[in-house]
Amino acid sequence: MLHSPTILTRRISSFILVPIMFIVCHTPVLAVAPQIGLETIQTIRPETTAGLQTFFQALNYDWIQLENGVPPLILENIPADIENSTSTAVKKRTFFMGLLPMVLLANQEIAEERLEILQLMQKHGSRELHPSDYERLTEISKRYGLRGRPITDHRARAQLLQRVGTIPTSLVLAQAANESAWGTSRFARLGNNLFGEWTYKPGTGIVPAGRPPGKTYEVRKFSSLYESIRSYMNNLNRNGAYRKLREVRAELRKSEQAVTGMALAQGLLHYSQRGEEYIQEIQAMIRQNKLSRTEVASLRQPKIEVLTSIRTSGSGLFSTRNRSIGHLSPMRLNP
């Protein structure tokens, strides 16, 4: 499953090491519709699980009260001590809360891209398309593994719209926990790989233990956890092995039903050699951890710049920096 999506990120500031206290700056969203604007997202690197929990508390980010909104942030790493957390409940809650903002951000990018496609199609209908618009559609089509010309071929257009779709947060979180052993697997630690994605370029990934003789596949390395999430979503949206997942999503949309992780899990037959057993396991994780309620969670949209001073009480230092990610203002998503 080799693909290399382009991450729309750039570093704005270098690491700022702050003992015991650090400042988090939420910059207002630059909503420049219909073009993709830039929003500055705080990026954090927690050293301990306790420190990360303190950070969440200071932001009033509560797993039980997701209706308060999810703060947009990028988590650079899962705390190394999460495996030794005081309880399984703490480990699960920290893992899910750390990933949820990035899942919502990645889904937001997809939702905006879908809207952009629809707008370009509308411009085509009114004969207002410019050469740059054709280039943009070609770029999007290529990233989603589509060879046809959506502008002139209605079948290619339908395929593109079927592929450019969000993935339910419940499904993403359940698979991330399952595939990465709650962020403790070797591949998650060394390669930021949360979903076990492969590469067939020798020397570019991590060689899995017990790989059969003669095989050349490796487990992909990602520059960040966020890149892993975006790559996984792109994989589900373009790989022929997950056509059923996309068909189920399209049918639910067509009938105006909610697109849920439980429903789309049926399209994961080829994600694991365990087939149906794997599907049942993912669905069980969604049920047992009540992940379906994350499907209505939305990112917070600060109206003004807010400075929040957070004390970790010695529970773990943080390094912080800002990262600019290409997307529009946060919105509530309906996959």
Is residue 19 a part of any domain in this protein? yes
Is residue 100 a part of any domain in this protein? yes
CATH of the domain at 185: 1.10.530.10
Q: Is pLDDT at 137 greater than 50 in this prediction? A: yes
pLDDT number for residue 184: 94
Is residue 280 a part of any domain in this protein? yes
Q: Note down the domain range covering 61.
A: 9-107+165-326
What radius of gyration, in Å, describes the C-alpha atoms of the chain?
Answer: 20
Q: Is pLDDT at 236 greater than 90 in this prediction? A: yes
**Under the phi-then-psi rule, with left for phi > 0, alpha for psi from -120 to 50, and beta for the rest, what region is 17?**
beta
Is residue 331 a part of any domain in this protein? no
pLDDT number for residue 108: 94
Instruction: Please state which of the ranges 131-140, 227-236, 273-282, 292-301 shows the lowest mean pLDDT.
Output: 131-140
d(CA 8, CA 75): 16
Residues 37-49: pLDDT tens digits?
335 688 899 999 9
| pTM for this predicted structure | 0.80
Band of pLDDT at residue 330, cut at 50, 70 and 90: very low
Is residue 148 a part of any domain in this protein? no
Cβ(334)–Cβ(140) under 8 Å? no
Cβ(322)–Cβ(12) under 8 Å? yes
Q: Is pLDDT at 70 greater than 70 in this prediction? A: yes
Cβ(7)–Cβ(230) under 8 Å? yes
Residues 5-16: pLDDT tens digits?
333 332 222 222
Comparing 72 with 309, the larger pLDDT belongs to 72
Is residue 113 a part of any domain in this protein? no
d(CA 196, CA 200): 13
Residues 250-268: pLDDT tens digits?
999 999 999 999 999 999 9
176 CB burial (10 A radius; 0-12, 13-18, 19+): buried
**Residue 170: Cβ within 10 Å count:** 28
Is residue 248 a part of any domain in this protein? yes
Number of domains forming the structure of the chain: 1
Is residue 94 a part of any domain in this protein? yes
